[in-house]
Chains A and B, each alone.
Chain A
Amino acid sequence: MPLPARRTLPTLALALIPRAVALNLALGAVVGALKLPVYLDSVGTILVAVLAGPWAGVITGIVSNSVLGLLVSPALFAFIPVAIVIGWLAGIAGRAGAFASLAGAIAAGLVIGVAAALASAVIVIALMGGLTASGTGILTIAIRATLGVSVDSAAKIAAIATDALDKPLSCVLVYLVLERLPRRLSARFRRATA
């Protein structure tokens, strides 16, 4: 379906999105090298959303999870709605000026993290019985064991605990990158997406 006339992505955004998708995957190498307990697999999506707006963020999220599904595991197709939530909220936060300060970026990351966690918990509960074969799955078991809550509640708490660390850190990275980005380039994005 063609994009509505008002929502045509500028060429600059079209050129950035594939690099952002690749970034979502490539940052896994950095996380692996530093052995950090986070994913950082949405930095590219958040960056595009802040630079080019919510619509571009949504498209980046869809393409990113589709490419991940093709390259890593088809299970990741199921999490496309989560990527849409992240892209849309990051774009809204960017338009609201949240990424103009470090505190704003952290606050945006917390909001995005909670929303993404709730969206992913719904998918994990509906399709996978509340558990994924990942660190979050182990955390779900640990939460159920220690707090004695139901699997569904444990899955939601585990998702929020994971994303409440991951998304603010992703947003801080985006904020630091925006600070270091050549002003000429940021201005080009602003002009292209105005």
Chain B
Amino acid sequence: MTSALDRWNPLTPLAAAVAMVLAAFAGPQPYAPVLVLAVALLVAIASGIGFKVTALTALVVLPAFALLVLLAAAFPDAATAQRQWVPSRAAVLDALAVSLRLGAAIAALGVVVVGVAPRRLTRALAARGLPAWAAYLVIASLEAVPDARRRADDVIDAQRCRGVPVGKGTGMRGRLRALPALAGPLIVGLVTESEERALALDARAFDPRASRTALAPIADPSAERWARRVIWLALAAVIAWRLREFAQSLTIT
């Protein structure tokens, strides 16, 4: 898929996302995660991937928030509190703080995950020195996943046709016994296939250490390179400030 982020070198949104995740955890609470979450969602909306990033974030954050509130309300520390089905303000605020940090991290990384094509990101990393073996592993893994999923479905269907008990009406022991029959052919098939792939790599004189020359290099304008330097400097400043605060708190205590 393409998004507005494709106009950028993939390393720039990646650097921004990593910095935002660290800032959400290391920055002043709760302002840093709120700011990171808002910026990430705004960038996602501006890039045309707002719905996907919001859904991705909500799918992780909302259940986590609900479980944390439930935990604090229904099962408080036995020594200090009574069970109460209406959560206290402190419990909600605690759950909100954890969920906001989590949401900020998911949204910031989600912009990169949804908005930047993995193949493009790997090419950009390869241009910055990622060795051929690492680039091969990421790209080949992404390509192997749909095939393996299809093969898993085929094996399940085939074994079901042969009478292997699957699904409802089968006890736990029966389902555990069926596991090798379903997983075995899938695993053995994938392992034996890797031998053919290894032969193909050897036949092409694949050198795991070589750095490859891209046919269509991804542009990395000097403005973006400077932007990344500024991002790392700002992040280093936030971390240094937090470490200073931490050191001061140790001195006081």
Interface residues of chain A, those whose CB is within 8 Å of chain B, are 1-3, 8-9, 11-12, 14-23, 25-27, 29-30, 33-36, 40, 43, 47, 51, 59, 63-64, 66-67, 69-71, 73-75, 77, 127-133, 137-138, 140-141, 144-145, 148, 150-151, 169, 173, 176-177, 180-182, 185, 188
Q: Are B188 and A181 in contact (CB under 8 A)?
A: yes
The dominant DSSP class at the B interface is helix
Q: Tell me the B76-117 residues at the A interface (CB within 8 Å).
A: 77-78, 94-95, 98, 101-102, 105-106, 109-110, 113
Q: Are A29 and B156 in contact (CB under 8 A)?
A: yes
Which residues of A are found within 8 Å of B30, using beta-carbon distances? none
Known: A26-B145, A30-B152, A70-B142. 8 other contacts (CB 8 A): A30-B179, A47-B187, A63-B137, A69-B109, A74-B109, A129-B98, A145-B74, A173-B184
CB distance from A86 to the nearest CB of B (A): 16
A63 to B70, CA, bound (A): 35
Residues in B with CB closer than 8 Å to A144 are 71, 75
CA distance A77 to B106 in the complex (A): 10
* B106→A73 contact, CB < 8 A: yes
- Complex: how many Å from CA A43 to CA B191? 12
Q: CB of B68 within 8 A of chain A?
A: yes
**Does the CB pair B74–A176 fall under 8 Å?**
no
CA distance A169 to B172 in the complex (A): 14
Interface residues of B in 43-95 (CB under 8 A from A): 56, 59-60, 63-64, 67-68, 70-71, 74-75, 77-78, 94-95
Size category of the B interface is 35 or more
**Nearest chain A residue, comparing its CB with the CB of B64:** A133
Query: In the complex, what distance in Å separates the CA atom of A144 from the CA atom of B81?
Result: 14
B176-194 interface bits toward A, Cβ cutoff 8 Å, 1 = contact, 0 = none: 1011101110111011111
B208 to A25, Cβ gap below 8 A?
A: no
Q: Which of B159-200 contact A (CB under 8 A)?
A: 166-167, 172, 175-176, 178-180, 182-184, 186-188, 190-195, 197-198, 200
Take A3-B131, A3-B208, A21-B141 as given contacts and tell me if A128 and B191 are in contact as well, using a CB distance cutoff of 8 Å. no
Q: Are A43 and B106 in contact (CB under 8 A)?
A: no
A36 touches B193 (CB 8 A): no
- Could you give 13 example pairs across A and B, Cβ below 8 Å? A8-B209, A11-B198, A14-B206, A15-B200, A18-B137, A19-B197, A30-B186, A33-B156, A36-B176, A43-B183, A73-B106, A75-B102, A138-B67
Contacts of B101 in A (CB 8 A): 127
Q: Are A14 and B106 in contact (CB under 8 A)?
A: no
- B178: chain A residues within 8 A (beta carbon): 34
Determine the chain B residues whose CB is within 8 A of the CB of A130 once the complex forms: 71
Of the listed residues A22, A23, A133, the one surrounded by the most CB atoms of chain B closer than 10 A to its CB is A22
Expressed in whole angstroms, the minimum distance between the Cβ of A145 and any Cβ of chain B is 5
**Chain B neighbourhood of A180, CB < 8 A:** 184, 188
**B243: interface (CB < 8 Å):** no
Closest residue of B by beta carbon distance from A20: B190
Chain B minimum-CB-distance residue to A27? B183
Residues of chain B with a CB closer than 8 A to A69's CB: 109, 113
B225 part of interface (Cβ distance < 8 Å): no
Q: Mark B127-146, 1 if CB is under 8 A from A, else 0.
A: 00001010011101111110
Known: A29-B149, A63-B141, A66-B138. A176 touches B180 (CB 8 A): yes
Any chain A CB within 8 A of the CB of B245? no
